[in-house]
Amino acid sequence: MTRRAWVAFLLAVVIVGGGGWFGLSAAGVFDRVQPAPVASPPRSTPPQSTTPVPQPSVRTQSSTPVQSRTSVVTSSPSQAVVVRRYVFPVGGCRADASQSHHDYPASDIFAHVGCLFVAPVDGRVDEVTRVDSWDSKTNRGADRGGLSVSVVGADGVRYYGSHLSAIQPGISPGVQVRAGQSLGRTGKTGSAQGTPPHLHFGISWPTGPNTWWIRRGAVAPQQFLNSWHHGGQLSPVALVAASHRAYGAEHGCRSYC
Ligand SMILES: [Zn+2]
């Protein structure tokens, strides 16, 4: 009896001990294996999905008829769906944008009389000046632009072109326009009467009507013009917002008034 009991006791120790060890190791395997597939994939996906989204109202490149310098982009099949939001504001002509401007930020884009002034971005026509009332004897700041059109873009930035020789029929305040749509033609009205013809181009934040000292240009547009001229899509939104904050409260014209 004592010998059989001893053998039975030994068997019980082996079975219970082995079963306990197996259970532990099985639990250990689960602990190690289970979290791995749950943890890694969801962490890597969100940054990818957030980057390409912010292009809601965009157009394919082929739908902007004026942009003559984008053929480089279309030559690559993988770029066929490239979206375009910004276009260079002078179309159909050679145009040279000045890299600086007297007295305040702007660019004089030299081009022949009659070249197209086009909307740089989708937006809404803001202000239109159809009569040239500039006089060299008074040289009033409000009159220097001659014929002009401003557009508040869908990006919230205002774009202004002046010294126009003509304004496109149908271009009036409140009218919706698309990037690349003709707003008028370049010329030398206003204070450009005695200079080579050019489009004075200004970027600013929207204001109330007739705030010409902001509308004429409040942010240096050169880096954006240079980008758009080469098919780039550099946006002035952040710089305009920062410049607006730095400008502070509106107290009227501060220089070259
Ligand atoms: Zn100018």
For residue 110, count other CB atoms closer than 10 A to its CB: 19
List, for residues 200-256, the tens digit of each pLDDT value. 999 999 999 999 999 999 999 999 999 999 999 999 999 999 999 999 999 899 999
Say how many Å lie between the CA of residue 251 and the centre of ligand 1: 22
Cα separation of 36 and 248, whole Å? 53
Cα of 13 to ligand 1 centre, how many Å? 97
Res. 188 pLDDT band, cuts 50 70 90: very high
Segment 4-39, tens digit of pLDDT: 544 444 444 444 444 333 333 333 333 333 333 333
Give me the CATH topology for the region 59-241: Glucose Permease (Domain IIA) (2.70.70)
Nearest by Cα to 191 from 254, 223, 143, 226? 143
Closest CA to 65 of 135, 119, 106, 146: 119
Which residues make up the environment of ion ligand 1, defined by Cβ < 5 Å?
Answer: 108, 200
DSSP H stretches of helix in 45-183: 46-50, 71-74
Cα of 32 vs centre of ligand 1, distance in Å, is 69
Domain boundaries, the chain: 59-241
Q: For 190, which DSSP code? A: G
Write down the pTM of the prediction: 0.69
> Which of these, 202, 96, 95, 186, lies nearest to 147 by C-alpha position?
186
Q: To which H or E segment does residue 174 belong? A: none
The predicted pLDDT at position 3 comes to 52
Residue carrying the six token digits 């019980």: 12
